[in-house]
Amino acid sequence: MRCLEAKERIDTRMDGWCLWSEFSWMVTLSVLAWEGVQLFHLTRRYLIHAYAPYPPFTSYGAWAVVTGCTDGIGLSYAKELARHGMKIALISRNPDKLETVAWQIEKEFGVETRAIQADFTKLDIYEGIKEKLAGLDVGILVNNVGMATRRSPFLDVPDGGKTYQDVLLVNNMSTVRMTHVVLPGMVEKRKGIIINVSSISDISPVPLTATYSATKAFIYSLSRSLAYEYKNNGILVHQVDPWYVYTKMMYKLLLPTGLMAPTPDIFVRSDLRSITKVHVTSGYWLHDIVREVARFVDFIAPTAATNIVGWAIKKDSERVMQKRAELKQQKADAKTT
């Protein structure tokens, strides 16, 4: 009898081990299949970003509207779309920079421009923008204007209440209101492209830039929803989640340019090749790899992902502060010699 009971216990343990073994194999195969699919998509995106022909942008309309367009990524979108024959409506805060950029684009590319001065921290600007865009055949809207906060805990941002309000107005309200201004004309003619420039930080929470990353998650959700709502109206909503691009913001972080951090011109040319083929992208093939890794880590271990990002941001902030102190000391030493 005891031998039979012992045999039954052994059989039960063996059955349990077999079940766990089968489960482990299923999980392993599922992960490998998922990674295989991602590898296929990443390879496809590399080929698109590097070699795909540019779409016929002017077939969507004669004009492109670009916000936050006097430097960085926004300026590169304006210039590249002008290179492809589009007239450019430039919307930004600084009137002097606006006029300079408008003149440069007209001179270099021979296209008509329209400069519209607007401060996106204000709510009373949109009726004026709507009036100045009235009558234009707008084919592309680039919602690029953005604002970041200092890397620090939520309560340590100087004048936090006003700063956070401005970040929400610039990053989120501008995207909603500009889309609301331009989209009706696109729906009426049943074609148009909306490019929403967000950030790779929309994938998971980013400690020490909590409000900024939350605004980017808002843009991601808005873009996906609008893409579904208006796909049958001929509207293409293209979400762009850049990682590091060598803009003024990156310069302040004392980071070098390079293969992982392309110039705005290289980045925008890469993204525009994908505009009709990929609805959500980081715009640049190496950034797509970073994005997929971040998505995978956030999917399997969301808390760990947040902790890792928070630690990385903290360490990088310490690096920036140390580097700035060294540069300040070097300048002081140079003055004394």
pLDDT of residue 109: 97
Which pLDDT tens digit goes with each residue over 103-120?
Answer: 999 999 999 999 999 999
- Does position 319 have pLDDT exceeding 90, yes or no? no
Phi, psi at 76, each rounded to 5°: -65, -40
Q: Is 212 one of the catalytic residues?
A: yes
Query: 90 has which bridge partners?
Result: 66, 115
| Position with higher pLDDT, 171 vs 331 | 171
* Options 77, 126, 164, 212, the catalytic residue: 212
Query: 197 has which bridge partners?
Result: 240
- Contact status, residue 291 vs residue 46, Cβ threshold 8 Å: no
pLDDT of residue 4: 45
pLDDT of residue 25: 59
pLDDT of residue 316: 74
Dihedral sign, Cα of residue 311, residue 297, residue 215, residue 238: positive
> Residue 179, CB half-sphere, CA atoms under 13 Å: how many?
25
In terms of average pLDDT, the best of 6-15, 287-296, 324-333 is: 287-296
Q: How confident is the model at residue 30 (pLDDT cuts 50, 70, 90)?
A: low
Lowest mean pLDDT among 29-33, 64-68, 177-181: 29-33
Count the Cβ atoms, other than its own, within 10 Å of residue 332: 9
- CATH match for 55-300 among 3.40.50.2300, 1.10.300.10, 3.40.50.720, 3.20.20.70: 3.40.50.720
* pTM for this prediction: 0.85
In the block, tokens 């270099």 appear at: 108
pLDDT of residue 318: 74
- Does position 84 have pLDDT exceeding 70, yes or no? yes
| Position with higher pLDDT, 236 vs 319 | 236
- Contact status, residue 70 vs residue 120, Cβ threshold 8 Å: no
Task: Give 257's contacts (C-beta < 8 A, 6+ positions apart).
Answer: 246, 263
- Does position 253 have pLDDT exceeding 70, yes or no? no
The domain ranges of the chain are 55-300
Mapped onto helix, strand or coil, the DSSP state of residue 182 is helix
Question: What's the Cα-to-Cα distance from 160 to each of 47, 104, 149, rounded to whole Å?
Answer: 43, 37, 9
Mapped onto helix, strand or coil, the DSSP state of residue 192 is strand
Phi, psi at 87, each rounded to 5°: -75, 145
pLDDT of residue 18: 57
